[in-house]
Amino acid sequence: MSDRKLALVTGGSRGIGRAVCVKLAEIGMDIVFSYQSDAPAAEETERLCEEKGARVLKVQADVSNSDQCDRLIAQASWFGGGHIDVLVNNAGITRDGLTMRMKNEDFDAVVNVNLKGTFYMMRGVSRFMIRARRGRIVNMSSVVGVRGNAGQLNYAASKSGVIGMTKSLAKELASRGITVNAVAPGFIETDMTGKMTANARDASLAEIPMGGAGRVEDVACAVAFFAGEESRYITGQVLCVDGGMAI
Ligand code: NAD
């Protein structure tokens, strides 16, 4: 049995999630990650983590489905020999549009993945962490959850909700040696931002005091900090990785 810590990362097949998996593997953790449908991309994440010396398990799971979250958690716990040391709730989607034209389905889809998915995962994994009296939970919020954004009311609701859940669970679990923090990326080059219109992209980039987009590794380093020992006395916090957007 490995004495490496086990990290469970949702949405690890690409983008920020993949960078988080690789970074946590690099700092000595074994990795279980979920992916929604892109098996070849998941295999690439697996290969990159194994190159860093990690044991890796990839699991196909839709985080908006609570049964699939429970199955994912059970598989992670089995892989970790009964332990899940770190949970990173990274999976997320956007369905942008102005509020007056936003369909119920677009609101629900975003809340189901970003907010409810994070809840299902935190509820399931916290049971293991409470038993072990240790653990790190890191939730992916967004600068949009901190300051709002025109055309992203649904996404802002979900990502502000993630911050509220982070602070609430941090209070519930603080006495058990478990920290719960959030990372709020600004504009990071991934498939998600690649879908934006040229106008929306230019408007967002113009708002970044440091100029230019961030890299997935910038976010992964912040997650690794909250996942590691150095952050042991920090809980309920939101760290913006945004080149100054939220100032
Ligand atoms: P991405 O679209 O490249 O990746 C999203 C990941 O989530 C993928 O691995 C995808 O398979 C997974 N996913 C989506 N729906 C899922 C579901 N129902 N079940 C399981 N997995 C699912 O996006 P990204 O830019 O890498 O974003 C990662 C996280 O960072 C998201 O939570 C996103 O909201 C957040 N974020 C991104 C940015 C940015 O600028 N890219 C900014 C702020 C916050």
Distance between first and last Cα of the chain: 46
Break the chain into its structural domains and give their ranges: 5-238
User: Which ligand 1 atom lies nearest to the CA of residue 37?
Assistant: 11
Overall pTM surpassing 0.75 (yes/no): yes
Task: Find out whether the beta carbon of 214 lies less than 6 Å from any atom of ligand 1.
Answer: no
Catalytic residue list contains 120: no
Length of the chain (residues): 247
Q: How many CB atoms lie within 10 A of CB 174?
A: 13
CB atoms within 10 A of CB 172: 13
5-238 fold: Rossmann fold (3.40.50)
| pLDDT tens sequence for the chain (247 residues) | 467 999 999 999 999 999 999 999 999 999 999 999 999 999 999 999 999 999 999 999 999 999 999 999 999 999 999 999 999 999 999 999 999 999 999 999 999 999 999 999 999 999 999 999 999 999 999 999 999 999 999 999 999 999 999 999 999 999 999 999 999 999 999 999 998 889 889 988 999 999 999 999 999 999 999 999 999 999 999 999 999 999 9
How far are the Cα atoms of 65, 73, 147, 148 from residue 157, in angstroms, in the given order?
A: 19, 26, 11, 9
Tell whether ligand 1 has an atom less than 6 A from the beta carbon of residue 238. no
55: amino acid identity, one letter: R
Cα 1 to middle of ligand 1, angstroms? 32
